[in-house]
Amino acid sequence: MFDEDDFQEEIRAHLEIAAAEREADGADPRSARLSSLKDFGNVSLTAEAARRVWIPRWIDAVLDQLRDARYAVRTLAKNPVFSLAVIAVLALGVGANTMVFTMLKSMALAPLSGIASSAQLGVVVNAASRTRTGGLSYHDYQFVRDHDRAFNGLAASGLTSANFGRGRGARPMYCELVSGNYFQVLGIRAERGRTFLPSDEIAPGRHPYAVLNDGFWRRDLAADPDILGKTIDINNFPLTIVGVADPSFHGTIVGYDTEVFVPLMMAPQLGVNVGSLEHTTTSDIFADRGAGVFDVLGRLRPGVTFANAGAQVDALSIALFQDAALADVGQHLRLVHIWESPFGGQTFLLPGLLVLGAMGLLVLGIACANIAGLVLVRGISRRGELAVRLALGATRARIVRLLVVENLVLAIPGAVLGMVLASYGLPLLVRSAEAMAAPQRLFFNVPLDRSLMAFAAFVALGSALAFGFVPALQSSRVDLVEAINEDASPRGASRGRLRAWLVVAQVAVSSILLVGAGLATRSVDAARRIYPGFDAGHTTAIEIDVRSNGYSDARGRVFYRRLLDALRGETGIESVTLASTTPLNLVGTREARVAIDGYAPRRDEDLSFQVNTIGPDYFRTLRIPLAAGRGFDDRDDENGRPVVVINRTFAERFWSGAAAAVGQRVKVGAGDWRTVVGVASDVKYSQVNEAPMPFIYMPFFQSYRANMIVHARGAAPVNVVVDQARERIAAIDPDLAFIHARPLDEATRGATVLFEFLSTMLLAFGTAGMVLAGMGTYGLVSYAARQSTHEIGIRMALGASAASVVRAFVARGLRLGAVGAAIGLFVAFAGARLLQGSLFGVSPADTVSYARALAIVIGGVALATLVPAWRAARTNPLRALRHQ
Amino acid sequence: MTLHTRDARPDLLPGTLDMLILRTLQWGPQHGYAIGQTIRAQSSEVLQVEAGSLYPALQRLSKKGWVTAKWGQTDANQRAKFYRLTIEGKQQLLREQSRWTELVDAIARIMTPAGEPETER
């Protein structure tokens, strides 16, 4: 090894011997010593070289890089605000992109956990119209399963919410009603026991078995090793456990964590609310061809392309609907990818994620533009330094490397911070989604795996390198003589052109972000001001399901009547009602096909609308104004005339208005003709930014459901009202299970949270990108102006007035700014349609947002040119000339 | 290159300095200053070895195990670090010597092809 002290000692000995020799030749001691030192040369360089002999080559290379990095850090630290801003925005861009792409991956590339290449699964849907698709009825499923030749089997599954356990201890969970071949088609093995077989799909009610999800088995059944053969109660029906599925499997509905799988033949026994309006307590679900409740999916046979399989499904569809004379036309089956499936979380998450992804890419783009600008500007201002380096024998490669290392110094912290952001942000996002769904369980297949970390690193480093490399090359192309003589014009033609393009690009990207941020702010503003059409304050949303106590329909009706009477009698409760769904429920609710007396639907016209089943006093309790007629009251029961209430949009679409609609007749689903007795004002049914849509209210006592939400309004703080109502309900049946007992505004939060989340992200991206873009633009433009100090000096020396010089420079800057702004606004206008889904109360072509963006950008450019030009013009021409 | 001829043309072949040092040590252990002086004297003052090249070269040779170093006294009774050729160093010197001879012969054949009178101008 290298011994530092020993080496110093050796050098000292060398010097002494050399000095002694010179003294012996007659020199005086002092000059002997000096001349031997002079002959030796640079002592510390020699020691350095000797030391390096012992250092392995690769370490040497690393140390070299570190030296570069240290130098880069020092240089960047001179401009801390800009450097930190670049790092922060890079981190934001990388973090957001990683999160968004993880989510997108979970929705589109690997949507289902536990199934190999689940993105390749095909889903057969019933396309009632161009935009709206749904599941298949059992009859239709059987037909395609038996006639299909393109798939290795087609499985069917229907997602439903069911209660596990009995009475008070019951808890809601997601349950899939599955076909006998389900597990075989998907290739899921059993961890314990068996999965289902085609023999588990013979006759209704004959297969009381359950396959459990591994998580459910561990959490709720304490991983009981003797679980097989035991029974669990699902909706009060005992099912024998025959197996536990593979731990990685969470069902086939994206975003939902299915805890129990039951043969679909048991649907009547479980009394599930699936499908069309006339709820299913009988074996209707197998006979009713309108009950399109099944998600039908399968894996393509080897060698069959997706298009090929799609054509086969189309052919089957024609055969299917030809031999069955169906009342409603316009139905046909279609093959779609799993991310286009009408079932699952991707239906409402995907559009928002795409917007976020686009914004994330934009922010990343602007970070890249800034890095490029940074490198270029510094390259130009360091021409002197670089020229000296070149003169001292540094190669161009060496200088490019130095500049690239500087980019890495920005990129690496950006990438790391971005990954940290993503790894904290994603679980946070998932957890908040889960909290909204509790006690039911969600499952997103979003492991932050190595491939996504690699993606983040690649994005950050790639952008830093790609966007730093070209300017670095440019900077390294220094003309030695010109640079060292220092009197040449700084406006080298190619450098100037690149700089101009950078300014244009900066301004363009800033404009896009400004428009995006502007639209987001205006839409958040509008959303805050909007009244959703109902008053969620001081109102409860207590959800119960009397099936958990084994109530028959008749007993259920009696129970709900007693419940309403009891709560009406409570002091402090102003009004009370029932509803099968809350407004603003994010995902929408069940739809029913509708026939309208005297209206002949066009061929292919889709007459399916969302339905809410409600009790008396509903509109009064939720403070929804009636446009005409009346709401339901106690007369509208099983003995009364069949009635219905519609919303204003419905009335305006089919009749001349609200007043004209009252008294008309409508048939909902397969039921009787119903008379319209009232028209209610529109509310926001599922999302804040939804378009107006026809909506139907059915009277509870003419359309019984076991699972209802109790809305009670009281003047006291809402939690007091919730507790009071809850206790009163529990007094009627102490064993009743509560699915939720919460304020209504908490229940509707899901819809607003998602919207606010999207808008906030948009705003954050927009603002961050905007600040950075502004700084970058200012930096570039003002730098360019500063470079022209020399020119300003000449002009003024030739007699130009300060004002005219400044004018000329600002005009030059504005020309570039205008080109950039024009490009930016054009792109923003073209891209804003993407935002449509997450905007509210603002058109994507909102003039105010565009005007504001234009004003800010042009103002920024003007300021960035004006300040340096004015400063240059005010200086003495002679000094400006000498400046170079 | 690190080895300088007097007319400051630094284009000696790589590895030549190492070979010269090994050669110098063939006659017995020497300290760094003496190695430099010896090379200079034996080349009739044409080759001047700078300390900045000499000492890293000595470290290189130590690392390869071709020389070992030991502190001792000079004839003038001064302390100095003496380098000695190891067995491997001797073998290496032989290899370098034959390689060098081949190289010089080859270059000589190019520079003065047979039959060409040496002094014709």
The ranges assigned to domains in chain B are 4-111
Total length of chain A: 884
Q: Which pLDDT does position B22 carry in this prediction? A: 92
Residue type, A349: L
In contact, A207 and A201? CB cutoff 8 Å? yes
- Answer whether B56 sits within 8 Å of A52, measured CB to CB: yes
- List the single range of A318-332, A502-516, A797-811 with lowest mean pLDDT: A318-332
Q: Which pLDDT does position A873 carry in this prediction? A: 74
Q: How far is A46 from chain B (nearest CA, A)?
A: 5
In A385-403, which positions are buried (b, 16+ CB within 10 angstroms) versus exposed (e)? ebbebbeeeeebeebbbbb
User: Which alpha helices (H) appear in A569-708, and where do they start and end?
Assistant: 618-621, 648-654, 658-661
Q: How far is A857 from chain B (nearest CA, A)?
A: 57
- Answer whether A46 sits within 8 Å of B55, measured CB to CB: yes
A604 pLDDT higher than 50: yes
Interface check for A1 against chain B (CB to CB < 8 A): the answer is no
Residues in chain B closer than 8 A to A60 (CB atoms): none
Helices A749-787 + A493-529 axis angle, to 10: 150
**How confident is the model over A187-211, as a mean pLDDT?**
93
In contact, A823 and A337? CB cutoff 8 Å? no
Summarised one tens digit per residue, pLDDT across range A478-513 is 665 555 554 444 444 445 676 778 778 878 877 887
User: Taking the complete model, does pTM exceed 0.80, yes or no?
Assistant: no
In contact, B17 and B36? CB cutoff 8 Å? no
Which residue in A10, A42, A53 is closest to B60 by CB distance? Answer: A53
Q: Which pLDDT does position B68 carry in this prediction? A: 93
DSSP states of A30-48 = HHHHHHHHHHH--HHHHHH
* Rounded Cα–Cα distance for residues A788 and A804 (Å): 15
In B, residues 11-30, which contact A (CB 8 Å cutoff)?
A: none
Q: Which two tokens stand for residue A294?
A: 């099944």
Interface check for B76 against chain A (CB to CB < 8 A): the answer is yes
- Answer whether B51 sits within 8 Å of A39, measured CB to CB: yes
> Strand pairing of A608-614 and A695-699?
parallel
A635 pLDDT higher than 50: yes
Residues in chain A closer than 8 A to B32 (CB atoms): 10, 14
* Rounded Cα–Cα distance for residues A64 and B21 (Å): 30
Q: Which pLDDT does position A381 carry in this prediction? A: 65
SS3 for A875? coil
Q: Which pLDDT does position A492 carry in this prediction? A: 45
Summarised one tens digit per residue, pLDDT across range A8-50 is 899 999 998 988 888 888 888 888 888 888 888 888 888 888 8
Q: Which helix (H) or strand (E) holds A163?
A: strand A151-164
A197 pLDDT higher than 90: yes
**Most confidently modeled range among A53-67, A164-178, A699-713, A823-837:** A699-713
**How confident is the model over B87-112, as a mean pLDDT?**
89
Percent of chain A scoring above 90 in pLDDT: 26
Cα of A319 vs its chain's centroid, Å = 40
Q: Which pLDDT does position A232 carry in this prediction? A: 93
Q: Which residues pair with A294 in a beta bridge?
A: A136
Which residue in B51, B74, B76 is closest to A40 by CB distance? Answer: B51
CA distances from A203 to A158, A227, A268, A286, B94 (A): 17, 26, 11, 10, 96
Domain B4-111 CATH (choose: 2.40.50.140, 1.10.10.10, 3.30.230.70, 3.40.1280.10): 1.10.10.10
Summarised one tens digit per residue, pLDDT across range B69-87 is 999 998 888 899 999 999 9
Which residue in B51, B56, B63 is closest to A14 by CB distance? Answer: B51
Q: Mean pLDDT for chain B?
A: 82
> Strand pairing of A151-164 and A171-178?
antiparallel
* Rounded Cα–Cα distance for residues A606 and A329 (Å): 9
Summarised one tens digit per residue, pLDDT across range A432-445 is 777 766 667 777 77
Q: pLDDT category, A377, cuts 50, 70, 90?
A: low
Which chain B residue has its CA at the smallest distance from A51's CA? B56
Summarised one tens digit per residue, pLDDT across range A112-129 is 888 888 878 899 998 876
Q: Which two tokens stand for residue A122?
A: 């095909």
Q: How far is B55 from chain A (nearest CA, A)?
A: 6
Q: Which two tokens stand for residue B97?
A: 């010597």
* Rounded Cα–Cα distance for residues A439 and A443 (Å): 13
In A849-866, which positions are buried (b, 16+ CB within 10 angstroms) versus exposed (e)? bbebbbebbbebbbbbbb
Which chain B residue has its CA at the smallest distance from A44's CA? B52
Interface check for B80 against chain A (CB to CB < 8 A): the answer is yes
**How confident is the model over A861-882, as a mean pLDDT?**
72
Q: What is the ipTM of this complex?
A: 0.84
Interface check for B40 against chain A (CB to CB < 8 A): the answer is no
Q: Please count the other Cβ atoms lying within 10 Å of the Cβ belonging to residue A497.
A: 10
* Rounded Cα–Cα distance for residues A172 and A438 (Å): 9
The closest of A779, A785, A780, A790 to A812, measured between CA atoms, is A785
In A747-758, which positions are buried (b, 16+ CB within 10 angstroms) versus exposed (e)? bbbbbbebbbbb
CA distances from A452 to A97, A116, A118, A446, A797 (A): 10, 19, 18, 10, 60
In contact, A539 and A712? CB cutoff 8 Å? yes
* Rounded Cα–Cα distance for residues A804 and A807 (Å): 5
Better-predicted residue by pLDDT, A780 or A24: A24
Summarised one tens digit per residue, pLDDT across range A697-737 is 999 999 888 889 999 999 989 889 989 998 999 899 888 87
Residue type, A743: P
Tell me how far apart the 2 most distant CA atoms of chain A are, in Å: 135
Under 8 Å CB-to-CB from B22, ≥6 apart: which residues?
Answer: B61, B66, B67, B85, B89, B92, B93, B96
Residues in chain A closer than 8 A to B81 (CB atoms): 6, 9-10, 13
A282 pLDDT higher than 50: no
- Answer whether A42 sits within 8 Å of B63, measured CB to CB: no
Q: Which pLDDT does position A486 carry in this prediction? A: 45
> Strand pairing of A295-300 and A121-127?
antiparallel
Helix (H), strand (E), coil (C) string for A531-594: CCCCCCCCEEEEEEEHHHHCCCHHHHHHHHHHHHHHHHCCCCEEEEEEECCCCCCCCCCCEEEE
Terminal Cα distance for chain B, rounded: 32
Q: Which two tokens stand for residue A537?
A: 């304050």
Q: Which backbone phi and psi does B73 adopt, to 5 degrees? A: -115, 140
Q: How far is A403 from chain B (nearest CA, A)?
A: 28
- List the single range of A127-136, A798-807, B100-109 with lowest mean pLDDT: A127-136
Instruction: Report the residue of B4, B55, B79 to disrupt the A interface, i.e. the one with the largest count of A CBs within 10 Å.
Output: B55
- Answer whether B52 sits within 8 Å of A17, measured CB to CB: no
- The number of CA neighbours under 13 Å toward the Cβ of A306 is 12
Peptide bond before residue A439 is cis, with ω within 30 degrees of 0: yes
The closest of A820, A819, A791, A825 to A806, measured between CA atoms, is A791
In contact, A545 and A172? CB cutoff 8 Å? yes
Which residue in B55, B78, B81 is closest to A16 by CB distance? Answer: B78
Interface check for A735 against chain B (CB to CB < 8 A): the answer is no
Burial (0-12, 13-18, 19+ Cβ within 10 Å), B115: exposed
**How confident is the model over A321-347, as a mean pLDDT?**
74
A528 pLDDT higher than 90: no
Q: pLDDT category, A298, cuts 50, 70, 90?
A: very high
Q: pLDDT category, A256, cuts 50, 70, 90?
A: confident
Burial (0-12, 13-18, 19+ Cβ within 10 Å), A569: exposed
Which chain A residue has its CA at the smallest distance from B65's CA? A1
Q: Which pLDDT does position A324 carry in this prediction? A: 56
Q: Mean pLDDT for chain A?
A: 81
